[in-house]
Amino acid sequence: MTVDSAAPFPSSQRRGGAAASRLARRGGQIGETSGRSSIEASPYRARASRQPVCAFAALGAGTPLRGGECGPVLLALVCTLWLHSVEALAGSDRLVFGLQAAYGLENGIPRNISHIQMLYAQPQVGIIVWDFPESRLLIKRFEIVSEGIIGGAIHPGGHLLGDTVMFRVSGNPRRKFIPFFNVSSGPLRTNLDEKAPELGGHVQFISQGGVGIQRRLNVKQSVVMEYRYFHMSNAGLTKPNPGFNGSMLSIGMRWNPTK
């Protein structure tokens, strides 16, 4: 028995073959389109990979933020959220709240390679451990405070996110002005090391000490101005670890009870 190779296939088989051919042609067109898209998009991806992008991406504005633009956006966001929440939480007579905007600048001790400039918010939550305004001691109040670091580097670019534990003492008030002194230290995460050779690794530690003036506005609210000297390095976690020193100025508000 012989089979004629030229014999026509049944109609159902001819329809199936035609559908398969259409699917194959459509798959080829899709493959060509996706190939062109990936080729056309690759230059953009290459350009984007060279620019650090703020993770908050302008809070839905649709345009990612580059390097140093992230710091002011985070600062404004933290200030807005903090101010709305403090009044509702300040009912306890032992709690202290604060919010300060800080500007930090690298100095030349021992070197100033990258001319680092930082802008960040400092939300604060603390507890009054000791408060005796009538005491004969020079120290009238002792507080333990958790202070956040949320912002970025204006130059050369990068983000800052961390927290420090602060010990703060207040002196004898003069009219509505209260002097204070504090020391603090804590970890932070940053990508500043990618642009500043003074730092090694994304995990850093900042230690600082400062003095300031608190000016009472009323029984619970005060304006604060402060100067600090700080050191930032990775505590030997990675090498190199030269670190850098700098000065910081800040201004803000404080909500706390007074006797």
Overall average pLDDT of the 83-104 stretch: 76
Residues 150 and 251 in one domain: yes
Arithmetic mean of pLDDT over the chain: 78
Domain membership flag for residue 55: no
Residue 195 has pLDDT above 60, yes or no: yes
Tell me: the pLDDT tens digits for 25-70?
A: 655 555 455 444 444 444 444 444 444 445 444 444 455 555 455 5
C-beta separation of 253 from 223 below 8 A: yes
Residue 217 has pLDDT above 90, yes or no: yes
Q: Return d(Cα 128, Cα 146) in angstroms, integer.
A: 12
What pLDDT score does 15 carry? Answer: 52
On the 0-12 / 13-18 / 19+ scale of CB atoms within 10 A, 173 is middle
Q: Return d(Cα 178, Cα 171) in angstroms, integer.
A: 6
Residues 241 and 171 in one domain: yes
Residues 164 and 225 in one domain: yes
Three-state DSSP class for residue 231 = strand
Overall average pLDDT of the 125-153 stretch: 93
Residues 132 and 251 in one domain: yes
Domain membership flag for residue 1: no
Q: Which range, 14-23, 130-139, 194-203, has the best average confidence (pLDDT)?
A: 194-203
User: Which domain covers residue 43, as residue numbers?
Assistant: 11-50
pTM: 0.66
Radius of gyration of the chain (CA): 30
Q: Return d(Cα 170, Cα 183) in angstroms, integer.
A: 12
Tell me: the pLDDT tens digits for 102-138?
A: 999 999 988 899 999 999 999 999 999 999 888 888 8
How long is the chain?
259
Structure token digits, residue 67 = 């390097």
